[in-house]
Amino acid sequence: MRKPIVTIVAVCGAWVAAGVAAPQVPGGRRGGGPLPGAVLWTEQCAGCHGTGATAGRAPNLFDEEWLSRVSDAEIGNAIRKGIPNTEMPAFDTTLSELQAFQLIQHLRMATAAARPRPAFVANPDGVTLHSAKQAFRLELVADSLMTPWALAFLPDGRMLVTERDGRLRFVDHGKLSEPVKGLPKPHVQQDGGYLDIEVHPDYARTRWIYLAYTEDQPGYAAPAEGRGGTPQVPSMTVIVRGRINQLNEWTDQQVIFRAPAALYTSSGVHYGCRLIFDRQHHLFFTLGERGNQSNAQNLETPLGKIHRVNDDGTVPRDNPFVHTPGAVPTIWSYGHRNPEGLAWDPVTGVLWESEHGPNTADEINIVEKGHNYGWAVASKSAQAGLVLSAPGMDDPVVYFTPTFAPAGITFYTGERYPGWKNTSLFVGGLLGQALRRLEISGRSVTSQEVLFNQFGRVRDVVQAPDGYLYVALQDPTGVPHPLGGDIPLAASTPGRVVRLMPVR
């Protein structure tokens, strides 16, 4: 059953907050010409409304306060039907639904790109911030990390943190351990390396720790170097479990998921991979479509999917495609681009997910058994060749234009921040350097706010056994380097972990 379309929420400028260069023209395409919405605006709208930089006789619509109050649906309705008793005509016979949507995207992206960039704060320790329902102070817990990707906690309160370059460490009362020894060697390229870490729900008995990472294709023999240099080694996401002994060694490793060798690719994007357990100890994990859009709709490949397995990697008998000929039996949902966040709603019990969109239209979804989430047939990105919605495909609960590249997510269920309990979904952002709080009621997002956006890329946010929220931060990428040039967007940069301490 398809979800009803809900009001779409537009948010602040990820390009600007990330320090990424703004387009040369409002709505411009990085490295290319203007986006379709910018062209349409010049042709259809600028004569009356101006360009943002220039005024027109009609109201300026590049207005951040106004855009924060109206939904895309409301703007689209005004474009289609016009506004009575004004010069604003109806464009329902002039513009297609897709073109109207592209105009809305242009408004939001150009307005965000004009916003001043918040200055990056390298040391957030002691900074106090005030949100709608809770004031808090940031407290530095661990420093001297490189691209901390994920956090997880043992029952005794010790924290595990993965570094994308291929290290797993403990943090114990602020003390950072040496890397765990004997771990598998990762393939480190662009999005790849060490990814998520998760602890078995019955860790006290099993001692299992689950690790997602990317590996070289087993047995791969590189061809001789040609004119283009040595080709990139094909790689893929792998999930294993193991134990850590008293000597800080990784032992007893077992493979939970490994794709067929034919699926390994030299692409360095969209590996996923977020891990989460349900109450029955099923493990859910996410896989991106590895940059090949056709994978997301193909049930014969695990890519572009969310999967569900037993804690030992075997297939649950009630998975939705177990009896579908040719389908990968571990698939739980499909039509995903690059999901990097999973969280259980403590009130409704449903599974929420964050997903990277293509430049625009990052998504927050409610993931349900057997459902199709549209990529790459339907997307709110207004990409050429895609529709905005399609029968039998679920629309996102909310989406974000421009992008802020959502990463780890969590619901807060503790007592440390009373105003946030059970109704707050926290979403980390990479491009936007934002920790965002979404207010949840049932299956809807009723409001949202940015808690901060000046401390670097927010890789993960986790509630610890002590009831506090811990956040993994990475110094900005895609910004000018102090010594000249730019720091590549996918670069590994220093990072740290902070704790949110409530302020009364």
| CATH number of the domain encompassing residue 93 | 1.10.760.10
Same domain, 306 and 192: yes
Q: Is 356 a catalytic residue?
A: no
Residues 186 and 150 in one domain: yes
Q: Select from 269, 272, 352, 255 the least CA-distant residue to 309.
A: 255
**Same domain flag for 93 and 149:** no
Q: Is residue 122 part of a domain?
A: no
Residue 223's CB: how many other CB atoms inside 10 A? 7
Give a yes or no: residue 89 inside a domain.
yes
**Considering the domain boundaries, does residue 195 fall inside one?**
yes
Same domain, 257 and 287: yes
Task: Based on the fold, state whether residues 305 and 198 are members of the same structural domain.
Answer: yes
Task: Among 113, 147, 165, identify where a domain stops.
Answer: 113
pLDDT recorded at residue 81? 95
Q: Within this chain, do residues 405 and 310 fall inside the same structural domain, yes or no?
A: yes
User: Do residues 404 and 342 both lie within one domain?
Assistant: yes
170/295 same-domain check? yes
pLDDT for 46 equals 94
Q: What is the pLDDT of residue 35?
A: 82
Residues 236, 266: one domain?
Answer: yes
Q: Along the 504 residues of the chain, how does pLDDT read in single tens digits? A: 344 333 333 333 333 333 333 333 334 444 457 888 999 999 999 999 998 888 889 999 999 999 999 999 999 999 999 999 999 999 999 999 999 999 999 999 999 999 888 999 999 999 999 999 999 999 999 999 999 999 999 999 999 999 999 999 999 999 999 999 999 999 999 999 999 999 999 999 999 999 999 999 999 988 877 666 778 999 999 999 999 999 999 999 999 999 999 999 999 999 999 999 999 999 999 999 999 999 999 999 999 999 999 999 999 999 999 999 999 999 999 999 999 999 999 999 999 999 999 988 999 999 999 999 999 999 999 888 999 999 999 999 999 999 999 999 999 999 999 999 999 999 999 998 999 999 999 999 999 999 999 999 999 999 999 999 999 999 999 999 888 899 999 999 999 999 999 998
Q: Is residue 18 part of a domain?
A: no
Domain closes at, from 113, 140, 170:
113
Does 11 reside within a domain?
no
For residue 120, being part of any structural domain is answered with no
CATH number of the domain where residue 441 is located: 2.120.10.30
Side by side, the strands of the sheet bearing 362-367 are: 339-344, 351-355, 362-367, 398-400
In the prediction, which pLDDT does 483 show?
Answer: 86
Q: Do 75 and 144 fall into the same domain?
A: no
Closest CA to 472 of 160, 128, 130: 160
Residue type, 216: D
Which of 67, 87, 113 corresponds to the end of one domain?
113
Report the pLDDT value the prediction gives residue 33, as an integer from 0 to 100: 72
Chain centroid, CA 171 distance in Å: 25
* Best CA proximity match to 433, nearest among 398, 397, 403: 403
- The reported pLDDT for the residue numbered 5 is 34
Per-residue pLDDT at 228: 67
What is the pTM assigned to this prediction? 0.93
Measured CA to CA, the distance from residue 406 to residue 327 in angstroms comes to 29
Residue 119 within a domain: no
Of the residues 200, 270, 356, 371, only one is catalytic, namely: 270
Do 188 and 48 sit in the same domain of this protein? Answer: no
Same domain flag for 52 and 176: no
**For residues 167-186, b (16+ Cβ closer than 10 Å) or e, as one string?**
bbbbbeeeebeeebeebeeb
So what's the pLDDT on residue 351?
98
Q: Is residue 12 part of a domain?
A: no
Residue 5 CA to chain centroid, in angstroms?
21
Count of structural domains, the chain? 2
Domain encompassing residue 107: 23-113
